[in-house]
Structure 1
Amino acid sequence: MEIEFLGTGAGVPAKHRNVTGIALKLLDERNAVWLFDCGEGTQMQILRSTIRPRKIEKIFITHLHGDHIFGLPGLISSRSFQGGTEPLEIYGPRGIRDFVQMALRVSQTRLSYPLKFIEIAENGVVFEDKQFKVICEKLDHGIASFGYRVVEADHEGELQADKLLALGVKSGPLFGRLKKGETVTLPDGRKINGLDFVGQKRRGRIVTILGDTRFTQASIRLAENADVLVHESTFNKNEAQMARSYFHSTTEQAAQVAKEAGVTCLLLTHISARYLAKDAIELEKEAQGVFPNSRIVKDFDVVEVPFN
């Protein structure tokens, strides 16, 4: 599981930061990519990455401001041209269906795959299967803006095959039964309890990706015990009043969310174009003063989400 940042800027594209686009790469887990927001130029950013549009399975939109959705029609069209045939699901606030369908209708775009919309109006579970659950909650951004909490199911313990082989148990059907925790009788009469040869379960990973927002308790709830929190930091600590006026967060506020939620790692994005390289370092230091494991991300940064 990896997070790749396709755009880390705020409001408008800049030479050094494109507008928001975040890819949660689940290639080992389900051979798929989930995209969070799709600002203008996202498909151009994808061309500079190893991501294949046909692998994009779901797109989660946090809110309907242009710097988070203007890249959608182009990406959807290109996915069709590039051989995409698998269904694509788009999650987002009410209005996302109208926006996409209008663009496709006016441009007379025909898709080679089914497009499904899941419009969100309330907090709760928006997707769940045996591998993952995605929970959303409304944030504080003036318009409907959601954060998403992606929870991976726990991983079953690994069968300790080396120990079994050392006991003379040959690989085969018995391994499958032992992995299920069954007690089996070997040809020589010995009985072996599978539970003695299966490692401990590993807790599934948790990734929280928030939309634009003021400091709010909803962010803390979504980020509780997350392995990675992706949080906007549009303003520095001296611009708290401006951040509140524009329904955004400061670096310190993002770090406070991470601290109160007990997350492992904080990744800061949605950086204003007025903050250049040196300024971004100062933003990072501000956050680290509250939550040490904080980092400002750049376009094309790839961050692995490790098991805790």
Structure 2
Amino acid sequence: MKLTFLGTSAGRPTKARNVTSIALSLPEPQHGFWLFDVGEGTQHRLLGSKLKLNKLERIFITHLHGDHIYGLPGLLTSRSYFEGAVPLTIYGPPGIRTFIDCVFHQSGVHLGYELEIIEVEAGHVFSDSYFTVEAAELVHRMQCFGYRIIEHSQPGKLNLPLLKSLGVPSGPLYGKLKQGEDVTLASGETIRSSDVVGPPVNGRIVTILGDTSPCDNVLVLAKDADLLVHEGTFSGGMEEKAYAYGHSTVLQAAKAASEAKVKQLVMTHFSSRFDDEAIEQLVLDAKEIFEHSAAAYDYGEFCIHR
């Protein structure tokens, strides 16, 4: 699993940073990716990455401020030009359907693929064989969600040398054993799954927050996450201004990461007042509270290891 940041600026783009969008590349055997927010210019940023629009499977929108959704109509329209585009599902706050329907109606768009729009509420959002996604409301100037992506635990590895020594033929029996089933060989001998399969591999947790002031749901969503994406719009000492606009400082982000016991904090959504040198100092300030803090940058990649 890997996060690629396609936009890391707050409110408006700068020469170095586009507005918000984050891509989550899924692990094998899956080969697609999901997007979290689609700020204006996101499809241009995608052109500079290895990500292809026909592999985009799901889009999660945190809230309806323009720097998080103005790139959505163009991206959805361009996706029709890609052969083999799989069906696409968009998840977002109430109002996301009206926004898309209005733009498409007025501009006469006809998509060449199946599009589903789901307006989310707090709680369970989505699940399949590999992941569960949960949402909770944050504190911002409009309804805004954060998302918690939970990878399901996977069966442990087969002990191949032991299987060979026990005379278990490769093929369907291997699959049954890996899924926890005991099998009986032609000789009548029973092979127990627990004897030949290692312990389950724990799934990873990624938390991606929308814009927010500090609140309890930040900690709920981020608890024990392998990676937390938290906005750092303002510097320490600007807490009053941050609160007035429904945002957080980098110090508040670091405090949340520490309290939630996450493994890694990646801060994004930086005010355009900060250049790269200033952001380096913001990270140093955050590290005083939470050592494993980093700043996102456009095209920055962060791997989520087991």
TM-score by length of 2: 0.95
Match of 1:152 in 2: 151
Aligned pair 1:50/2:88, yes or no? no
Greater Cα offset, 36-45 or 23-32: 23-32
Instruction: Assess, with a 3 A threshold, how the Cα gap between structure 1 residues 70 and 198 changes in structure 2: closer, same or farther.
Output: same
1:17 corresponds in structure 2 to 17
Q: How does 1:65-76 map to 2 (within 5 A)?
A: 65-76=65-76
In structure 2, runs of 5+ residues without a counterpart are none
Per the alignment, residue 86 of structure 2 pairs with 86
For 1:93 and 1:200, locate their aligned partners in 2 and report how far apart those are by CA, in whole Å: 39
CA RMSD of aligned residues (A): 1.5
CA distance in 1 between partners of 2:184 and 2:300 (Å): 49
- Paired residues of 1:27 and 1:33 also in contact (CA < 8 A): no
Aligned mates of 1:5, 1:190 — CA distance in 2:
53
Q: Any idea what the Cα deviations from partners look like across 1:177-235, whole Å, max 9, x if unmatched?
A: 43334153464x65532311101001111110000000111100000111110000000
Would you say the 8 A contact 1:34–1:56 is kept in 2? yes
**3-state SS of the aligned residue for 1:28?**
coil
How far the C-alpha of 1:129 sits from its partner, in A, is: 1.9
Q: Percent identity?
A: 46
Which 5+ residue runs of structure 1 have no aligned equivalent? none
* CA distance in 2: counterparts of 1:168 and 1:275, whole angstroms: 64
Q: Please give the alpha-carbon distance, in whole angstroms, between the structure 1 residues aligned to 2:2 and 2:280.
A: 23
Is the contact between residue 168 and residue 185 of structure 2 (CA under 8 Å) also seen in structure 1?
no
Alignment of 1:249-288 (within 5 A): 249-288=248-287
Q: How many angstroms apart in 2 are the aligned matches of 1:283 and 1:226?
A: 22
3-state SS, counterpart of residue 258 of structure 2: helix
TM-score normalized by structure 1?
0.95
Counterpart in the other structure of 1:193: 192
Amino acid aligned to 1:58: R
Counterpart in the other structure of 1:37: 37
Q: CA deviation at 1:84?
A: 5.1
Residues 146, 211 of structure 1: 8 Å contact kept: yes
Instruction: Give the whole-Å Cα distance in 2 for the aligned partners of 1:169 and 1:114.
Output: 45
Does the C-alpha gap of structure 1 residues 20 and 186 become closer, same or farther in structure 2, counting only changes over 3 Å? same
C-alpha separation in 2, matches of 1:129 and 1:173: 23
| Amino acid paired to 2:38 | C
